[in-house]
C-alpha cells in the first residue's frame, strides 16, 4: 500500500507538471503571436540572477530552491562546491561582475576571473584556501553548463516555442522551464548549479547566444540562409527584434557578428544568393573567377555602404585561396560514444592532413550523448555533404537531428555506411535514392551494397590513428599486474551475438585453467539497456579469470586499457571494419581475429593470427538482422590454441605485434586515407563544373 500511494502521488505530480508545461508553452506562444500582430504586449521582464526577487519570481520557487545554500570557503572540496561558490560570489559582489564581465564564458586559458581567484588578492578577498584552487581549475577546464544546454537542445517541444530561450528575450520563460520541469526530472539528472551557470554564462554574451540559437534553429536558417554574415545580419536582426520583442541594443542590428571568417561568410552568402550564383557560378571553385566575383561585389553589386566597405577591406591574397580550397560538409555522430564516432572523426582528421576544410554537424541520438552537440555548428557551406549516419534509424532524419536546414539548391550528397553482411535490408535501397553516391570502409561492405544499389559505391577507408592517451598501469584500471592479459572491447548496442563474446569466453576457458596467471578482459558499455545479455555474459564468465567492465569509457581510457593489455582477441561473426583490431595493431599488440569480413582488408597471415570459420545462417531474426543472413562461426578450438601459444611464447607474440604495427602504419594511416578521399572530392568537383 505505501508503494502504491507513492506511485499515485508521483503520477499526480507528473500530471500537474505536464499541465503547467502546457500552460507555459501556450502563454509564450500567445505572447509571440501578439508581438507579431503588432499588439505590443507587456515585455517579459529580463532575467537577472543577481537579484534574489527576480530569480525567485522567474523560477516561481523559493530562493533556496533556486540556488541552494551558499558554501563557505572551507566547504569547497569538489568541483560542484566550487561552482556554487563562484555563483554565490558573483551574485553577492556586483563589483566583481563589473571587473570580470565574462567571468563564466571566457575560455579557460584566457579566464581573467580564474586568474584572479588564484592570485593573492583573490584568495584574500574570497577567503579561499590555496588547497581549494585545483577544484576551480577543474571546474573551468570543463564546461559546467554543457549538460544543461544539451537537455535544452534535446527537447524539441520547448525549443519549438523558445528557440531564443538563452537570449534575453526568452530567458525568463526558459529558466522557469528548467527549474520547474527539467530539474525535477530524475531521468534527466541535472543539478541546479548546471542550470544557473548556463544562464549566467548566457547573460554575459547575449549576441553569441542569438547566433547559437540561429545555428540550431532550422526554420530561421531556411528563412535567412546568410543571417550570420555581413550580407544578411541586418535583415535577420531586425526580424528577430520585431518577432520576439528583443531589445535592439543588445541585438546590435547594424553590426554583424564575426562568428565566421571572411571566406566562410562569402561562401555562405554566395550559396544564399541565386542572382550571384547565376552571374558568377564558379566563384567558389576557380581562383580567377573568385577574384572577379569579389571585385564585382566591391564595385558593381548593389550593396549597403557598410557591406561594400567590408568587401573593399578584404585581403584578396589571403581570402581567394581559402575561398576556392577543397572542402566538405560532414554530418555524423560526433557526440555518440561508438565506433561511428571514431570513424567520422578519423575522416575529419584525415582530410585535415591533406588540406581539405570541413564543416561539421553532430547527429543527435538522445540526451545521453556526450554534451557537445553545440560545438558542431558548421553550416552547409561547401558543395559536397558527407552524411555519416546509418540508414536505420537516423539517416532520413539526419538533418533534423543535426538541427540543420538542408541547403537549397542541395549539395552533392554522399552516404557513408557500415554493414556486416553481404546483403543489405530493403529499407537501405530507399535511403540510397536520397544521395548521389555511397562510400564505405571495406570491400566486404562494398560488394553487398553494389549488388542492390543503383548509385555508385566506393571503398574509401577512413584512416585509423591512435589519439594521445594517458598511460595507466593495470592497478589504476582495476586489473592484476602479474597476469598475461587478453582484451576484447565491444558495444552492447552493436548486437552481442555478432560480436560473439560468449564464444571468446568458451575459447578462453578451454585454453586456460583457473590457476594459470592469465586473464581475459571484456570491455563493454550500455549494459543497463541490455540486462539479459549482460547477465548472460556474467554467468558465462563466472569462475574464470575473466573481468567484465560495463562502463562508458572516454577514448583516452579505452586506448589506455588496450595499452595495458598484452594481446587483443576478436572472435566476431562479422565486422564491417573492425576498428578496434586496427587500433590494437597500431599499438603493436598481437591480434587474434576471425578470418572473415571487413577486417581482412588489412589483416593477413603476415601481420595477424587469423581464425578459420564456417559460414552459417543466423537461423532466427536477431534485429536488425534477418534469419536467412549468413555470418561466420569461428573455430573456438583454433582460437584457444592461438591464445595458448601467445601466452607460452610471448616473444613470438611481440614479433607478430611489431609486424602488425608496421603494416598498419603503412596501410591505415590518416594521410593515406585523406589523399584518397581528397582525390575523389576533386573528381566530384570536376564533374560538377563540367555539368555547369
Report the pLDDT value the prediction gives residue 43, as an integer from 0 to 100.
Answer: 63
- Residue 465: pLDDT band with limits 50, 70, 90: confident
Residue 48 sits in the same domain as residue 11? no
Residue 165 sits in the same domain as residue 74? yes
Structural domain including 37 reads: 1-42
Q: Which three cell numbers stand for residue 339?
A: 565506433
Positive or negative CA dihedral for 595, 601, 602, 605?
Answer: positive
16 or 499, which is more confident? 499
- Residue 40: pLDDT band with limits 50, 70, 90: low
Q: Is residue 124 part of a domain?
A: yes
Residue 171 sits in the same domain as residue 80? yes
Residue 507 has pLDDT above 80, yes or no: yes
Report the pLDDT value the prediction gives residue 442, as an integer from 0 to 100.
Answer: 92
Q: Which of 146-150, 237-241, 550-554 has the lowest mean pLDDT?
A: 550-554
Mean per-residue pLDDT for 434-441?
96
Mean per-residue pLDDT for 663-667?
91
Instruction: Tell me if 267 sits within 8 A of 677, measured CB to CB.
Output: no
Backbone angles phi, psi at 416, to 5 degrees: -115, 110
Residue 514 sits in the same domain as residue 401? no
Mean per-residue pLDDT for 201-221?
97
Residue 8 sits in the same domain as residue 50? no
Residue 352 has pLDDT above 80, yes or no: yes
Computed over every residue of the chain, the mean pLDDT equals 92
The enclosing domain of 346 has a CATH number of 3.40.50.11930
- Residue 493: pLDDT band with limits 50, 70, 90: confident
pTM score, whole prediction: 0.87
β-pair type (613-617, 630-634): antiparallel
Q: Which three cell numbers stand for residue 373?
A: 552537440
Q: How far apart (Å, rounded) are the C-alpha atoms in residues 505 and 499?
A: 12
Q: Which of 170-174, 223-227, 253-257, 466-470 has the lowest mean pLDDT?
A: 466-470
Residue 162 has pLDDT above 90, yes or no: yes
Residue 123 sits in the same domain as residue 192? yes
SS3 327: strand
Report the pLDDT value the prediction gives residue 640, as an integer from 0 to 100.
Answer: 97
Mean per-residue pLDDT for 409-417?
96
SS3 156: helix
Q: Is residue 243 part of a domain?
A: no
Residue 525 has pLDDT above 70, yes or no: yes
Count up the domains in the chain and report the number: 4
Choose among 504, 511, 505: nearest CA to 648: 511
Side-chain half-sphere exposure of 382, counting CA atoms within 13 A: 25
Q: How far apart (Å, rounded) are the C-alpha atoms in residues 167 and 52?
A: 20
- Residue 39: pLDDT band with limits 50, 70, 90: low
Percent of the chain with pLDDT over 90: 77
Mean per-residue pLDDT for 179-192?
90
Report the pLDDT value the prediction gives residue 178, as an integer from 0 to 100.
Answer: 95
The enclosing domain of 619 has a CATH number of 3.40.50.2000
Contacts of 515 (CB under 8 A, 6+ apart): none
Q: How far apart (Å, rounded) are the C-alpha atoms in residues 380 and 368?
A: 26
Helices vs strands, H then E, count in the chain: 33, 14
Backbone angles phi, psi at 409, to 5 degrees: -65, 155
Report the pLDDT value the prediction gives residue 121, as an integer from 0 to 100.
Answer: 94
Residue 495 sits in the same domain as residue 603? yes
Residue 491 sits in the same domain as residue 373? no
Q: Is residue 298 part of a domain?
A: no
Which of the listed residues 204, 229, 252 is the one where a domain comes to its end?
204
Q: Which three cell numbers stand for residue 87?
A: 555563483
Report the pLDDT value the prediction gives residue 2, as an integer from 0 to 100.
Answer: 79
Contacts of 109 (CB under 8 A, 6+ apart): none
493 DSSP 8-state letter: G
H or E element, residue 412: strand 412-416
Q: Is residue 282 part of a domain?
A: no
Mean per-residue pLDDT for 285-295?
94
Q: How far apart (Å, rounded) are the C-alpha atoms in residues 422 and 631?
A: 9
Measured CA to CA in angstroms, residue 56 lies from 51, 170, 176, 321, 337 at distances of 9, 17, 10, 54, 38
Side-chain half-sphere exposure of 123, counting CA atoms within 13 A: 8
Residue 31 sits in the same domain as residue 74? no
Q: How far apart (Å, rounded) are the C-alpha atoms in residues 76 and 539?
A: 43
Q: Is residue 637 part of a domain?
A: yes
Q: Is residue 555 part of a domain?
A: yes
First-residue to last-residue Cα distance in the chain: 75
Residue 526 sits in the same domain as residue 397? no
DSSP per-residue string spanning 515-545:
TSSEEEEEEE--GGG-HHHHHHHHHHHTTSS
- Residue 689: pLDDT band with limits 50, 70, 90: confident
Q: How far apart (Å, rounded) are the C-alpha atoms in residues 335 and 352?
A: 19
Residue 8 sits in the same domain as residue 130? no
Report the pLDDT value the prediction gives residue 626, as an integer from 0 to 100.
Answer: 87
Mean per-residue pLDDT for 499-504?
96
Measured CA to CA in angstroms, residue 28 lies from 150, 185, 213, 294, 380 at distances of 21, 22, 17, 44, 31
Summarize pLDDT for 368-379 with one digit per residue, the tens: 789 999 999 999
Residue 24 sits in the same domain as residue 48? no
Positive or negative CA dihedral for 529, 530, 535, 538?
Answer: negative
Backbone angles phi, psi at 592, to 5 degrees: -100, 130
Q: Is residue 679 part of a domain?
A: no
Q: Is residue 673 part of a domain?
A: no
Amino acid at each position: 500500500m505505501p508503494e502504491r500511494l507513492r506511485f499515485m502521488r508521483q503520477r499526480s505530480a507528473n500530471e500537474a507538471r505536464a499541465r503547467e508545461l502546457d500552460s507555459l508553452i501556450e502563454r509564450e506562444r500567445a505572447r509571440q503571436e501578439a508581438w507579431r500582430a503588432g499588439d505590443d504586449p507587456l515585455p517579459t521582464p529580463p532575467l537577472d540572477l543577481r537579484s534574489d526577487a527576480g530569480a525567485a519570481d522567474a523560477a516561481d520557487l523559493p530562493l533556496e530552491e533556486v540556488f541552494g545554500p551558499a558554501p563557505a570557503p572551507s566547504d569547497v572540496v569538489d568541483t560542484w562546491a566550487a561552482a556554487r561558490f563562484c555563483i554565490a560570489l558573483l551574485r553577492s559582489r556586483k563589483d566583481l561582475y563589473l571587473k570580470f564581465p565574462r567571468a563564466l564564458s571566457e575560455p579557460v586559458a584566457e579566464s581573467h576571473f580564474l586568474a584572479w581567484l588564484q592570485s593573492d588578492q583573490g584568495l584574500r578577498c574570497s577567503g579561499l584556501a590555496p588547497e581549494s584552487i585545483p577544484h576551480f581549475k577543474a571546474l573551468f577546464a570543463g564546461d559546467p553548463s554543457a549538460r544543461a544546454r544539451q537537455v535544452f537542445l534535446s527537447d524539441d517541444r520547448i525549443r519549438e516555442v523558445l528557440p531564443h530561450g538563452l537570449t534575453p528575450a526568452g530567458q525568463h520563460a526558459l529558466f522557469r522551464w528548467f527549474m520547474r520541469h527539467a530539474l525535477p526530472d530524475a531521468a534527466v539528472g541535472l543539478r541546479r548549479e548546471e542550470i544557473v551557470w548556463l544562464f549566467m554564462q548566457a547573460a554575459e554574451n547575449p549576441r553569441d547566444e542569438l547566433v547559437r540559437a540561429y545555428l540550431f534553429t532550422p526554420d530561421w536558417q531556411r528563412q535567412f540562409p546568410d543571417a550570420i554574415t555581413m550580407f544578411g545580419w541586418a535583415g535577420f536582426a531586425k526580424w528577430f527584434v520585431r518577432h520576439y520583442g528583443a531589445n535592439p541594443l543588445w541585438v546590435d542590428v547594424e553590426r554583424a557578428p564575426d562568428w565566421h571568417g571572411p571566406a566562410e561568410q562569402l561562401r555562405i552568402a554566395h550559396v544564399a544568393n541565386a542572382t550571384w550564383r547565376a552571374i558568377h557560378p564558379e566563384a567558389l571553385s576557380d581562383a580567377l573567377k573568385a577574384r572577379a566575383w569579389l571585385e564585382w561585389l566591391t564595385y558593381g553589386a548593389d550593396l549597403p555602404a557598410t557591406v561594400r566597405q567590408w568587401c573593399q577591406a578584404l585581403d584578396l591574397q589571403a581570402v581567394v585561396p581559402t575561398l576556392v580550397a577543397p572542402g566538405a560538409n560532414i554530418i555524423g555522430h560526433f557526440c555518440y560514444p561508438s565506433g561511428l564516432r571514431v570513424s567520422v572523426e578519423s575522416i575529419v582528421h584525415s582530410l585535415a592532413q591533406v588540406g581539405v576544410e570541413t564543416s561539421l554537424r553532430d547527429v543527435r541520438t538522445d540526451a545521453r550523448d556526450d554534451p557537445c552537440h553545440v560545438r558542431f555548428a558548421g553550416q552547409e557551406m561547401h558543395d559536397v555533404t558527407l552524411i555519416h549516419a546509418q540508414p536505420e534509424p537516423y539517416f532520413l532524419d539526419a538533418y533534423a537531428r543535426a538541427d540543420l536546414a538542408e541547403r537549397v539548391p542541395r549539395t552533392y550528397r554522399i552516404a557513408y555506411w557500415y554493414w556486416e553482411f553481404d546483403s543489405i535490408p530493403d529499407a537501405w535501397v530507399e535511403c540510397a535514392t536520397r544521395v548521389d553516391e555511397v562510400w564505405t570502409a571495406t570491400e566486404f561492405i562494398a560488394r553487398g551494397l553494389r549488388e542492390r544499389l543503383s548509385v555508385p559505391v566506393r571503398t574509401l577507408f577512413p584512416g585509423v590513428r591512435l589519439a594521445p592517451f594517458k598511460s595507466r598501469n593495470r592497478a589504476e584500471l582495476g586489473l592484476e599486474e602479474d597476469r598475461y592479459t587478453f582484451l576484447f572491447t565491444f558495444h552492447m548496442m552493436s548486437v552481442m551475438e555478432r560480436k560473439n563474446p560468449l564464444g571468446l569466453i568458451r575459447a578462453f576457458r578451454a585454453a586456460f585453467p583457473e590457476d594459470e596467471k592469465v586473464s581475459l578482459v571484456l570491455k563493454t558499455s550500455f549494459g543497463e539497456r541490455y540486462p539479459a545479455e549482460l547477465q548472460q555474459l556474467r554467468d558465462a564468465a563466472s569462475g574464470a579469470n575473466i573481468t567484465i567492465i560495463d562502463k562508458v569509457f572516454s577514448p583516452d581510457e579505452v586506448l589506455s586499457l588496450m595499452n595495458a593489455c598484452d594481446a587483443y582477441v576478436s572472435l566476431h561473426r562479422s565486422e564491417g571494419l573492425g576498428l578496434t583490431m586496427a587500433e590494437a595493431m597500431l599499438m603493436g599488440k598481437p591480434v587474434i581475429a576471425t578470418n572473415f569480413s571487413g577486417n581482412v582488408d588489412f589483416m593477413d597471415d603476415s601481420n595477424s593470427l587469423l581464425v578459420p570459420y564456417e559460414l552459417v545462417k543466423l537461423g532466427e531474426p536477431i534485429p536488425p538482422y534477418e534469419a536467412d543472413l549468413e555470418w561466420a562461426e569461428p573455430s573456438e578450438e583454433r582460437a584457444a590454441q592461438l591464445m595458448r601459444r601467445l601466452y607460452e611464447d610471448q616473444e613470438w607474440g611481440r614479433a607478430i605485434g611489431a609486424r602488425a604495427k608496421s603494416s598498419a602504419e603503412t596501410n591505415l594511416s590518416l594521410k593515406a586515407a585523406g589523399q584518397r578521399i581528397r582525390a575523389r572530392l576533386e573528381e566530384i568537383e570536376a564533374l560538377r563544373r563540367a555539368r555547369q
